[in-house]
Amino acid sequence: MKEYSSLNLIREDLKNGLTSCSELVNHYLEKIESTKHLNALIETYADEAIAKAQLIDRKLTQGNAGRLAGMVVTIKDVICHKDHKLSAASSILEGFEAQFNGTAIQKLLDEDAIIIGRNNCDEFAMGSSNENSAFGKVLNAADTTRVPGGSSGGSAVAVQAGMCLVSLGSDTGGSVRQPAAFCGIVGMKPTYSRISRHGLIAYASSFDCIGIFAKNISDVAITLEVISGKDEYDSTVSTTDVPNYSHEIGTHPKKRKIAYIKETLNAQGLNNDIKQNFNTLISKLKSDGHTVEAVDFPLLDYMLPTYYILTTAEASSNLSRFDGVRYGYRSKNTTSLEAMYKNTRSEGLGVEVKRRIMLGTFVLSASYYDAYYNKAQKVRRLIRDATKELLAAYDFILMPTTPTTAFKIGEHDADPLAMYLADLYTVQASLAGLPAISVPSGHDNLGLPVGIQVIADDFEEVKLLSFSNYLMTLG
Ligand code: GLN
């Protein structure tokens, strides 16, 4: 069967009887089998997907199939899918099954998307390399000695290697955009609150966003259109109307005013090829008639510390529910209630998750609360205000998605801080709650994918997606 690059092409062939959902599912199942070594999926739902495909094929003949009929997706192992296992790639959720569908999943299913499997990821979405998983590392299909990025590495590789058309990940500080850049695909996080978080396992609730991976902008747009919108189960979700993204985006945007932050290009550790690639892109944009200007943003140095203080604080509180009583794993070693809690958490959680719970507990402790948590909240506000101010003067902020291309497996094992640097450019949009996307932008001298990130103002997804469509044409 031919490899389809977009839902539009699939829909056309479905309409003309040149393919069927059953054929598509069989194709993806074969692909999943032949790319097993990448470890992108924790579980495949073969029988269920085949049955669902037959059902949707019937609906297609009857003319009452949903908008996503023909779309085969995989889901990061952090979103509830009723009667399916859910583990956040952690041993502590061993044996746990979701009792309801997260809103995004329900909306996908209502429009006849077929969910073919559950993606591997970093445990509780904490990481930038997908090496922190109870189910083992995920390998980058572009070079299997390298990481795919994280935490949604499995979702990125599933799209990269053609195991599905679209996948869902979650992005708290870059977990969709960074792996998209490392894998050479598109990864988008919308404005905070655009998509309901109901059924998404919480890492840092004031940052968490469901995000979308695909190989092109139109697939991101249609998926976003389906899964966004108000929801009685998430009190933080926006009630702003959801545009018809898939219809409203174009390929020939107006001449835009674009800012790039000088400090991002002077950052220590920025790979030279990425820098050059970025400069070339700026020249192309200018020669296409866009205004591109360098601006100062002195708060850059504060972004990672602010991000890691606030997210670990929120994580330490969110993850307290995994105590051996309510979910999944319980230690056998339980001489008292306290020992049961301690042993369950010590045995069930991985090193990185424990590190963050401890950091977060520390920054929230009575004597340090003001010095760390409170201060970081204030800095977050300054970062948001300064970013919004920039976006009042410019249409977009442009920057590399990551300071390096995909690094070697094990490269940052000894130094968690070096790993945190991978998020240098992605945390700004997360701190500010703004929509951001990573679009493929050529390769480095080793042939590894490079990503370019575009940030827009709140709820400007139409503008962001249209511009990204145009960026994709620049190569
Ligand atoms: N790498 C970042 C972290 O470990 C981002 C994770 C995410 O977005 N879920 O916190």
Q: Where are the domains of the chain?
A: 7-248
**C-alpha 92 – ligand 1 centre gap (Å):** 19
Burial category of 2 from C-beta neighbours within 10 Å (exposed 0-12, middle 13-18, buried 19 and up): exposed
From the number of C-beta atoms within 10 Å of its C-beta (0-12, 13-18, 19+), residue 53 rates as buried
For 177-223, write each residue's pLDDT tens digit: 999 999 999 999 999 999 999 999 999 999 999 999 999 999 999 99
Rounded to 5°, the CA angle 29-141-454 comes to 105
State pLDDT tens for residues 216-250.
Answer: 999 999 999 999 999 999 999 999 999 999 999 97
Concerning whether 175 is annotated as a catalytic residue, the answer is yes
175 lines ligand 1 (CB under 6 A): yes
The protein residue with its alpha carbon nearest to ligand 1, atom 5, reads 173
Q: Residues 175, 193, 228, 441: which is the catalytic one?
A: 175
Examine the residue annotation and report whether 438 is marked as an active-site residue of this protein.
no
Span from the CA of 429 to the centroid of ligand 1 (angstroms): 13
Task: For ligand 1, say whether the CB of 115 is within 6 Å of any of its atoms.
Answer: no
Give the position, in ligand 1's atom list, of the atom nearest the Cα of 426.
5
Quick check: CB of 124 below 6 Å from ligand 1? no
Find the 122 Cα to ligand 1 centroid distance in Å: 9
> What pLDDT is attached to residue 430?
98
The verdict on the CB of residue 155 being under 6 Å from ligand 1 is: no
Q: Decide whether any atom of ligand 1 lies within 6 Å of the 187 Cβ.
A: no
Residue 423 alpha carbon, nearest atom of ligand 1 = 1
Q: Ligand 1 centroid to 174 CA: how many Å? A: 6
Tell me how far the alpha carbon of residue 375 is from its chain's centroid.
28
Q: Reply yes or no on whether 76 is catalytic.
A: yes
1 pLDDT higher than 90 = no
pLDDT tens digit string along 350-406? Answer: 999 999 999 999 999 999 999 999 999 999 999 999 999 999 999 999 999 999 999
Whether the CB of 458 sits within 6 Å of ligand 1 = no
pLDDT band at 412 (very low <50, low <70, confident <90, very high): very high
Q: Is 125 in the pocket of ligand 1 (CB under 6 A)?
A: yes
Contact (CB, 8 A) for 385 and 299: no
- Expressed in angstroms and rounded, the spacing between residue 9 Cα and the centre of ligand 1 is 34
Indicate the CATH number for domain 7-248. Answer: 3.90.1300.10
* Residue 225 tokens, joined: 């259109």
- Supply 196's token pair: 């309901």
Stretch among 43-52, 267-276, 458-467 having the lowest mean pLDDT: 267-276
Q: Is the CB of 151 under 6 A from ligand 1?
A: yes
Q: Given this model, what pLDDT does residue 401 score?
A: 98
Q: Ligand 1 pocket, 304 CB below 6 A?
A: no
Is 325 a residue whose pLDDT tops 70? yes
Q: How confident is the model over 436-465, as a mean pLDDT?
A: 97
Residue 39 has pLDDT above 70, yes or no: yes
Q: Is the pLDDT of residue 251 over 70?
A: no
- Reading the block at residue 75, the tokens are 């889901």
Which residue, 211, 208, 202, 179, is CA-closest to 88?
A: 202
Closest atom of ligand 1 to 430 CA is 8
Distance 333 CA to ligand 1 centre (A): 32
CA distance 114 to 316: 35
Q: Which of 20, 52, 76, 438 is catalytic?
A: 76
d(CA 332, CA 76) in angstroms, rounded, equals: 29
* Average per-residue pLDDT for the chain: 96
- Contacts of residue 396, defined as CB under 8 A and 6 or more positions apart, other chains included, come to 256, 258, 259, 454, 455, 456, 463, 464, 467
